[in-house]
Amino acid sequence: MGLSNLAGKRILLIIGGGIAAYKSLDLIRQYQKAGAAIVPVLTRAGAEFVTPLSVSALAGSAVHTDLFDLTAEAEMGHIQLSRSADIVVVAPATADLIGKMASGLANDLATTLLMATDKRVLIAPAMNVRMWDHPSTKRNIATLDADGIAMVGPNSGEMACGEFGPGRMAEPSEIVTATATILKEGPLQGRHIIVTSGPTHEPIDPVRYIANRSSGAQGTALARALSALGADVTFVTGPARVPPPQGVRIVQVETANEMLSAVQTALPASAAVFAAAVADWRLAESREQKIKKKPDGTLPVLQFAENPDILATVAQMTQGRPDLVVGFAAETENVTAHATAKRARKGCDWIVANDVSPETGIMGGPDNTVTLITEQGTEAWPNMSKTDVARQLAARIAEALA
């Protein structure tokens, strides 16, 4: 997406301690190139990796480091700092800083600013892979997510310590893009939209599951397109092959029941778009131990149960129903007829139908050919990339909600 909406914006940049702090210098340059003004805050640990002089020289403004600056505090400086910015960005966000944020601690300038601000906060985590995978970090990230804190990264790669895995701070360009996404304006500004995506995995036993070939590409593209139009997007995704979009609220699930619960938790919303390829069935009872082959060759008997119908559940709500409910119909024959019947049966407003027969290459591929089915009739769209399908559908959603 473009970065023009960063022009004239004031960004409070908190630089935590860690080897990734050196990237903050390039981050300042990229923000300034986009027209943003930077107000830097350097933690005591951050100053071990980059100097206040280098940060100040690049930012073109004084570096704030001390909560107990008497001149500033006489004018309630930390409150002014926290609220005069358009957004607060923490890069790198170390395990220590994340832990303090999740616990509500305010024992230095950075954490006090984060507690006092009334603006959106974006963090770019950076830490060792073991620290990132630690249960306490996962709990802290979940807490911040529930508090509405946005996150970009971390990426996977080689660490300064020599280990490999998730924990590398997102690249400065990714952080700038995520910032622009949060500060964007558009026809869907102020609208909350739920998007489901990817397959669901229904466990058979601890090592096997029922799934489908959905990559999650169409749902991801749609969430990105809606976000680019200004929507506040909650992205509920199963175990997709494509990475989730930046700048949206991500809720990761495995099963259909988990997806339904996540959608219900995310409500209310102006619109809900159900692009996920939810498994129709699950095992009535998944096995606690791996199913073994029997010596006599007897095959195991698996008893199936129907999964919840997430689309119908939301579309038929009597209270709190989104203004627009959009379903997807992945068919292999009689596409338009089956999808039209599905729209009536489920009670949704629109159905986006496509032919996912193996020969089309649509499921898991880069392109899509869809038919939009509404109360007014059917509208066949030409073959195009999933990104273009998403943009066109997002524009239609914006028109419908206007």
- Out of 76, 160, 161, 380, which one is annotated catalytic? 161
Q: Is residue 100 annotated as involved in ligand binding?
A: no
Q: Is the dihedral of CA 196, 197, 203, 206 positive or negative?
A: negative
| Contact between residue 212 and residue 173 where contact means Cβ atoms under 8 Å apart | no
Tell me whether residue 346 is annotated as binding: yes
Q: Quick check: helix, strand or coil at residue 131?
A: helix
| 367 labeled binding residue | no
Distance of alpha carbon 341 from alpha carbon 60, whole angstroms: 62
172 is in an annotated binding site: no
**Rounded (5°) CA angle 113-251-110:** 10
* Residue 348 annotated to the active site: no
Q: Annotated binding residue at 310?
A: yes
Question: Any known ligand binding at 304?
Answer: no
Rounded Cα distance, 122 and 183, in Å? 11
Give which of 171, 166, 175, 170 is closest to 128, Cα–Cα. 166
What would the two tokens of residue 2 be? 């473009």
Q: Is 308 annotated as a binding residue?
A: yes
- Phi, psi at residue 23, to the nearest 5°? -70, -20
Segment holding 165, helix H or strand E? strand 164-168
Tokens representing 137 are: 């970090």
Who contacts 11 (Cβ-Cβ below 8 Å, separation ≥6)? Answer: 31, 36, 37, 38, 39, 85, 86, 87, 88, 89, 179
Radius of gyration of the chain (CA): 24
295 in a labelled binding site: no
Crossing angle of the two packed helices 95-103 and 135-146, in degrees rounded to 10:
50
* Cβ proximity of 204 and 285 under 8 Å: no
309 marked as binding residue: yes
Annotated binding-site residues for CTP read 280, 290, 308-311, 328, 342, 346
Annotated binding-site residues read 280, 290, 308-311, 328, 342, 346
Catalytic residues: 161
